[in-house]
């Protein structure tokens, strides 16, 4: 949510194309509006533009110069592609209606989509459909992958605080050991997926951090368990939230400790609407050929906050290949600039097909 320089560069580039620009939407978000003809139907095109809190380890001449910030997910490439589509559409105007170019901040778990929505994104810029895309390393350049329905998982972060009674490490009988309770809670949490959810519901609960104590000879007062949950429906996410609370409180009580759960929905499941999935896939097939568009990509357990926009407006989200290389969120990741024409062309083509001119 600190994309001040990037947002201004985007806004300036849009203005140079003669596109109406709205700054500060949801903080650092930018929306460009392009109208043509007499049509009132509108299509939204969305690109994320934030970086990740990590140091870049590439030797590229244009590597990040900001310590602790790296475009390790290719959002700079996504932004460039949407600007390319804006340039093309502003010049050719081969559509009848309205295009909203949505440049979103804070996708990486910071609530950028919700911030734009809470700032009246679709009230101020109504859309009949909305489309987005994301690069995929180690998938052939010039190829696309999509599916109707659940495309990416919803995601939540959780912190479980176990409170016991501190004591000397040599006198455990005087304590209520929160670390021991936390270890048992961590193991028991896996029963939520294996025993509380239907085998037909795909979900993951991962404990990624357990913190308790600062010294070798002190049994601490508290321990904290942190992690993430992933799921493909809001209902399953609710079951997981209830299960975390039930298991944590129950197991902790068995050790004489107490537990409190902080569960935060960060991403809704990304659900592609059938009609718009077909529209996006068909546009991609026109560009690269039907054999280079996979229409039944397996759902991914990763998450994307474009999902919140899809809950408000029907649309679809697609992956595009950037060829071999380091995976996203890796300090050696590199966006392949050769993918830019494919993404820009797809954004433009889905507009031309969705808002056909007279």
Residue pLDDT, tens place only, 98-115:
999 999 999 999 999 999
Q: What is the 3-state secondary structure (H, E, C) of the chain?
A: CCCHHHHHHHHHHHHHCCCEEEEEECCCEEEEEEEECCCCCEEEEEEECCCECCCCCCCCCCCCCCCCCECCCCHHHHHHHHHHHHHHHHHHCCCCEEEEEEEECCCCCCCHHHHHHHCCHHHHCCCCEEEEEEEECCCCCCCEECCCEEEECEEEEEEEEEECECEECCCHHHCECHHHHHHHHHHHHHHHHHHHCCCCCCEEEEEEEEECCCCCCEECCEEEEEEEEEECCHHHHHHHHHHHHHHHHHHHHHCCCEEEEEEEEEECCEEECHHHHHHHHHHHHHHHCHHHEECCCCCECCCCCHHHHHHHCCEEEEEEECCCCCCCCCCCCCCCHHHHHHHHHHHHHHHHHHCCCC
| Domains, the chain, ordered by start | 4-151+271-354 (3.40.630.10), 154-267 (3.30.70.360)
Phi, psi of 134 (to 5 degrees): -145, 140
Identify the segments of the chain with pLDDT beneath 50. Answer: none
Q: How far apart are CA 219 and CA 174, in angstroms?
A: 10
**What's the pLDDT at 228?**
96
**Are the C-beta atoms of 133 and 318 separated by less than 8 Å?**
yes
In this predicted model, what pLDDT tens digit does every residue of 29-77 receive, in sequence order? 999 999 999 999 999 999 999 999 999 999 999 999 999 999 999 999 9
Taking the model in full, what pTM does it have? Answer: 0.93
Q: How many CA atoms lie within 13 A of 241 on its CB side?
A: 15
Burial of 199 (0-12, 13-18, 19+ CB in 10 A): exposed
C-alpha span between 304 and 46 (Å, rounded): 12
Q: Compute the distance between CA of residue 238 and CA of residue 244 in angstroms, rounded to an integer.
A: 10
Separation of CA 283 from chain center: 23
CA distance 32 to 10: 9
The count of other CB atoms within 10 Å of the CB of residue 296 is: 8
pLDDT of residue 358: 59
Question: How far lies 263's CA from each of 142, 160, 166, 194, 227, in Å?
Answer: 39, 8, 26, 20, 10
Per the CB < 8 A criterion, the answer to whether 208 and 275 are in contact is no
How do beta strands 29-36 and 149-152 pair? unpaired
Q: What is the pLDDT of residue 357?
A: 81
75-92 helix and 340-354 helix, angle to the nearest 10 degrees = 50
């Amino acid at each position: 949510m600190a994309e001040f320089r990037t947002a201004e560069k985007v806004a300036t580039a849009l203005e140079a194309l003669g596109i109406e620009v709205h700054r500060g939407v949801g903080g650092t978000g930018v929306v460009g509006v392009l109208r043509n003809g007499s049509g009132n139907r509108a299509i939204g095109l969305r690109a994320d533009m934030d970086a990740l809190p990590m140091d870049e380890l590439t030797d590229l001449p244009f590597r990040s110069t900001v310590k602790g910030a790296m475009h390790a997910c290719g959002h700079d490439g996504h932004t460039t592609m949407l600007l390319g589509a804006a340039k093309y559409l502003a010049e050719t105007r081969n559509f009848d209606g309205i295009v909203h170019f949505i440049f979103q901040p804070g996708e990486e778990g910071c609530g950028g989509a919700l911030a734009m929505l809470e700032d009246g994104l679709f009230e101020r810029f109504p859309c009949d459909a909305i489309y987005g895309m994301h690069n995929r390393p180690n998938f052939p350049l010039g190829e696309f992958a999509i599916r109707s329905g659940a495309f990416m998982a919803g995601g939540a972060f959780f912190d479980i605080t176990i409170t016991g009674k501190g004591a000397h490490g040599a006198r455990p009988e005087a304590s209520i050991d929160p670390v021991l309770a936390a270890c048992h809670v961590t193991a028991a949490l896996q029963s939520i997926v294996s025993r509380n959810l239907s085998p037909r519901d795909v979900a993951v609960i991962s404990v990624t951090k357990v913190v308790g104590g600062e010294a070798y000879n002190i049994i601490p007062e508290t321990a904290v368990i942190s992690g993430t949950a992933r799921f493909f429906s809001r209902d399953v996410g609710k079951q997981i939230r209830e299960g975390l609370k039930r298991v944590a409180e129950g197991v902790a009580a068995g050790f004489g400790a107490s537990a409190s759960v902080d569960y935060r929905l960060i991403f809704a499941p990304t659900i592609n609407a059938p009609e718009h999935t077909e529209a996006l896939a068909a546009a991609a097939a026109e560009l690269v050929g039907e054999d280079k568009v996979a229409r039944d990509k397996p759902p991914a357990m990763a998450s994307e906050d474009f999902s919140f926009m899809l809950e408000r407006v029907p649309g679809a989200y697609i992956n595009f290949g950037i060829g071999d290389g380091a995976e996203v969120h890796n300090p050696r990741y590199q966006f392949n600039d050769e993918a830019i024409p494919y993404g820009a062309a797809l954004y433009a083509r889905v507009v031309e097909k969705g808002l056909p001119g007279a």
